[in-house]
């Protein structure tokens, strides 16, 4: 892997929005899709696992860190190409807020409701990130994925299942690039929509603090996870420096020195309280990397 940017024993807390986590044995920062293919191919032959990281905005990494290689898309895989006819190609590491601004500047509409999600295109596609009635899966035409052997595949949107905060691709691996189709819009109107959605977000979410967004998915049909946690008395509850936000009870925050173990304990307490009081079993929305015990 000559020429690939590598960091040994990288501190994953510096790469997650909640600011928690041990080290990655090795972290790589590919500059091109060809480099992603090479990394997967070389590591596969060496028997090393590769995990893909975007902006780390929906991730809890164990205090003991992770074995193997972490491939970070956010640093360099950030190209966006406007093709005309409302079609846009974005690499996996492009941040959604940046894509939204570039769309607005190009008079393209559609991404506004999800423009404030602090994740990458790749992470958003894997989780079918969404807000205010729009999900990224609604906008995508095709996705390119590098599989565990280092082979690049293009998958059309019809072959992908987009669910609630989850996506099933016919090929497993790292999302490296995607094609989107937006609608024609007017720059000023699109910017105004972005401003409006972000304002809404800022008034309802603890925006300034370290978090990974919602800890739990909303149960189907019934009350939101936040409302259930609130009624179960979890608003403001803490373990060490980890606590459930006073503003939005489903947002789990790091006041400073919280550990992954603190976060886990608190999530378990929240889950237990909601199950005991309302008979609803909450499912974590945050993805977890590393060893968290049984
Ligand atoms: C303040 C705040 C507000 C948020 N609001 C919302 C919201 O309104 N709606 C919403 O849906 N989410 C929200 N989130 C959660 C989060 O931003 C989204 O889930 C986002 O899409 C995660 O993208 P990421 O790049 O940060 O992924 P990461 O956190 O880096 O990764 C998450 C998972 O995706 C995998 N992954 C990442 N990139 C790739 C790739 N290229 N290929 C394959 N797998 C990959 C990782 O392996 C990991 O399992 C919020 C988070 C925060 C901190």
**Is the pLDDT at 294 greater than 70, yes or no?**
no
Pick the CATH number of 5-72 from 3.40.50.1820, 3.40.50.720, 3.30.43.10, 3.40.50.460: 3.30.43.10
> Where are any strands of DSSP class E within 63-116?
66-72, 80-84, 87-91, 108-109
Cα distance between residue 185 and residue 162, in whole Å: 25
User: Is the pLDDT confidence value at 267 over 80?
Assistant: yes
- Is residue 293 pLDDT above 90, yes or no? no
Residue 1 has pLDDT above 80, yes or no: no
Q: What is the DSSP string of 213-252?
A: EESBPPPSSSS-HHHHHHHTT-TT-EETTEEE-SS-TTEE
pLDDT of residue 292: 87
Which pLDDT tens digit goes with each residue over 224-252?
999 999 999 999 999 999 999 999 999 99
Q: What is the pTM of this model?
A: 0.96
Residue with the smallest CA separation from ligand 1 atom 21 is 124
Give 277 Cα–ligand 1 centroid separation in angstroms: 30
Ligand 1 contact via 19 beta carbon (within 6 Å) = no
Question: In the prediction, which pLDDT does 221 show?
Answer: 85
Q: CA 270, CA 264: separation in Å to the nearest integer?
A: 10
Burial class (CB in 10 A: 0-12, 13-18, 19+), 55: buried
Cα–Cα distance for residue pair 121/134, rounded to 1 Å: 14
Pocket test for ligand 1, best of 20, 30, 53, 128 (most atoms within 8 A of CB): 53
Q: Residue 276 C-alpha to ligand 1 middle, in angstroms? A: 30
Query: Is the confidence at residue 44, as pLDDT, over 70?
Result: yes
130 and 148 Cβ atoms separated by less than 8 Å: no
Number of C-beta neighbours around residue 142 at 10 A? 17
Whether 124 lines ligand 1, by a CB cut-off of 6 Å, is yes
Given this model, what pLDDT does residue 244 score?
Answer: 96
Query: Which pLDDT tens digit goes with each residue over 72-84?
Result: 999 999 999 999 8
Establish whether residue 12 lines the binding site of ligand 1, counting it when its CB lies within 6 angstroms of any ligand atom: no
Ligand 1, atom 10, lies closest to the CA of 129
> Is 208's pLDDT higher than 90?
no
* Ligand 1 within 6 A of CB of 143: no
Tell which CATH classification among 3.20.20.60, 3.90.1010.10, 3.40.50.300, 3.90.78.10 matches the domain 207-277: 3.90.78.10
Q: Return the residue whose CA atom lies nearest to atom 41 of ligand 1.
A: 122
Q: Which of 57, 116, 125, 247 to mutate to test the pocket of ligand 1 (most atoms within 8 A of CB)?
A: 57
**Cβ of residue 117 lying under 6 Å from some atom of ligand 1:** yes
Average pLDDT, the chain: 96
The DSSP-derived string for 124-186 is: HHHHT-EETTEEGGGTEEEEEEEETTS-EEEEEGGGSEE-SS-EE-SS-EEEEEEEEE-EE--
Instruction: Kindly indicate the confidence band of residue 207, based on its pLDDT and cuts at 50, 70 and 90.
Output: confident
Which atom belonging to ligand 1 lies closest to the Cα atom of 201?
8
Q: Which CATH architecture has domain 80-202?
A: 2-Layer Sandwich (3.30)
For residue 114, the ligand 1 atom closest to its alpha carbon is 8
- 120 CA closest ligand 1 atom index: 25
Domain boundaries, the chain: 5-72, 80-202, 207-277
Task: Report the nearest-CA residue for atom 43 of ligand 1.
Answer: 174
Task: Supply φ then ψ for residue 159, to 5 degrees.
Answer: -90, 5
Which active-site residues does the annotation give?
A: 165, 214, 285
The 10s digit of each residue's pLDDT in 11-24 is 999 999 999 999 99
Is the C-beta atom of 137 inside 6 A of ligand 1?
no
Q: Classify the C-alpha dihedral 16-111-186-193 as positive or negative.
A: negative
Predicted pLDDT at 2: 79
């Amino acid at each position: 892997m000559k020429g690939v940017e590598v960091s040994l024993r990288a501190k994953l807390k510096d790469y997650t929005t909640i600011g928690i986590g041990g080290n990655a044995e090795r972290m790589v920062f590919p500059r091109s899709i060809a480099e992603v293919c090479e990394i997967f191919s070389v590591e596969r032959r060496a028997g090393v696992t590769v995990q893909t990281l975007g902006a780390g905005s929906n991730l809890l990494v164990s205090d003991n860190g992770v074995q193997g290689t972490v491939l970070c898309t956010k640093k360099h895989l950030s190209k966006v190409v406007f093709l005309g006819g409302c079609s846009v190609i974005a690499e996996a590491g492009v941040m959604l807020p940046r894509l939204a601004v570039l769309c607005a500047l190009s008079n393209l509409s559609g991404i506004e409701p999800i423009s404030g999600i602090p994740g990458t295109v790749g992470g958003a596609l894997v989780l079918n990130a969404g807000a205010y009635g729009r999900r990224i899966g609604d906008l995508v035409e095709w996705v390119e994925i590098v599989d565990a052997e280092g082979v690049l595949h293009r998958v059309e949107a019809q072959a992908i299942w987009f669910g609630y905060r989850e996506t099933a691709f016919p090929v497993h691996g790292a999302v490296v690039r995607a094609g989107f189709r937006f609608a024609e819009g007017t720059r000023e109107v699109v910017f105004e929509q972005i401003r409006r959605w972000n304002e809404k977000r800022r008034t309802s979410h603890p925006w300034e603090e370290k978090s990974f967004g919602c800890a739990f998915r909303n149960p189907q049909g019934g009350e939101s996870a936040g409302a259930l946690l609130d009624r179960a008395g979890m608003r403001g509850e803490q373990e060490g420096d980890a606590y459930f936000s006073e503003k939005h009870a489903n947002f789990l925050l790091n006041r400073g020195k919280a550990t992954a173990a603190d976060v886990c304990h608190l999530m378990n307490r929240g889950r237990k309280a909601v199950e005991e009081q309302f008979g609803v079993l909450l499912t974590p929305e945050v993805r977890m990397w590393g060893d968290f015990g049984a």
